[in-house]
Chains A and B, each alone.
Chain A
């Protein structure tokens, strides 16, 4: 299975999170409500819906990540992190290059009645938290800490895999949102 230097992994995910926050601050939060709510010309989600979809994942995962970091703060970091097969599967599935189109799971489908300003605000707040969690995770063993999966909470993934698939998922839907920019 894929093996990567833990610090490098967390660092590259931080770089990605940073660029997404920057985009949200510089562009998304300054768009008019009309542009934010405009459905994709190709029959798909608006920018607001893309971000709200990401928010729904954050609402589940961020509190779990926070309590896991707190609970395991005495664990020692390992130099290398190896993905689990399921974590790796989810990450590849979420990646924007997977070429596949998936229907969102029921509890992650964004409604059409959204307040764009609060959707972007929540996205930014979540990404700020994620950034600080990625930094904190450098001090613990991200292979040992386990997080439940939102669509199947009896399944647990390594924290390192959760970070990876969340960021792959972010990348996918941010790319989708950007396609809606005027």
Chain B
């Protein structure tokens, strides 16, 4: 539905221009590359071993980048939801196999651009290179902040910090994924939940 697409593109424009400003002509050329895409709950968009072929912009729903190994270890690295970018960033930019899954945790809607299209256009559109550079720095900043949390904060502090960033997440995501993100087991999560609710 065209109207819906316009609204999504508006949101994308807002995010993109908050990172690097595009001129009207640059935006017109850039925005034409983005196509709508939807996925059901628990759909895997990227598997480990695959190269990430798309940069996603989340319009609706929640997704996660997750590490899983043969020993049964699971690490939810990041949740993505509107309005933010998604996909496995290092695989995408390096063109190497992903180490992680990118999967939906709810029915989801996106705009997405193929990396090959992006790279082709990026050869003459310098704004793309600037966007990627600045976006990467932002992502790195986020990762460093999270490292601090993981090393220095108690699980309760990290839980409160998560709720502060995403106040509705308790009603939008099964708690097991939140517990996994926080690095705690289900019993401790329940205890924290009861404590924080009071």
Contacts and interface: CB of A to CB of B under 8 A. Distances in A.
Please determine whether chains A and B interact with each other in the same assembly.
yes
Interface of A: 14, 18, 21-22, 25-27, 29-30, 32, 117-118, 121, 124-125, 128, 131-132, 135
Nearest to A129: B42
A32 B195 CA distance: 12
Contact of A25 (B40, B172, B186, B190): B172
B171 A118 contact: no
Given A18-B107, A121-B186, A25 B173 contact: yes
B40 A26 contact: no
B171 A117 contact: no
Contact of B174 (A18, A121, A132): A121
Interface string B53-84: 00000000000000000000000000000000
A143 B72 CA distance: 35
For the residues of A in contact with B, the DSSP-based class is helix
A118 B173 CA distance: 15
B152 to A, nearest CB: 28
Interface of B: 40-42, 106-107, 170-176, 186, 190, 194
A128 B175 CA distance: 13
A51 to B, nearest CB: 14
A180 to B, nearest CB: 19
Contact of B41 (A21, A30, A32, A125): A21
B186 to A, nearest CB: 6
Given A25-B174, A124-B174, A118 B42 contact: no
Nearest to B170: A30
A95 to B, nearest CB: 25
A117 B42 contact: no
A132 B171 contact: no
Contacts of A30: 170-171
Contacts of B107: 18
A117 B173 CA distance: 14
Given A26-B171, A117-B186, A128-B42, 18 more contacts: A14-B40, A25-B172, A25-B173, A25-B174, A29-B174, A29-B175, A30-B171, A32-B194, A117-B175, A117-B190, A118-B186, A121-B176, A124-B174, A124-B176, A128-B41, A131-B41, A131-B42, A135-B40
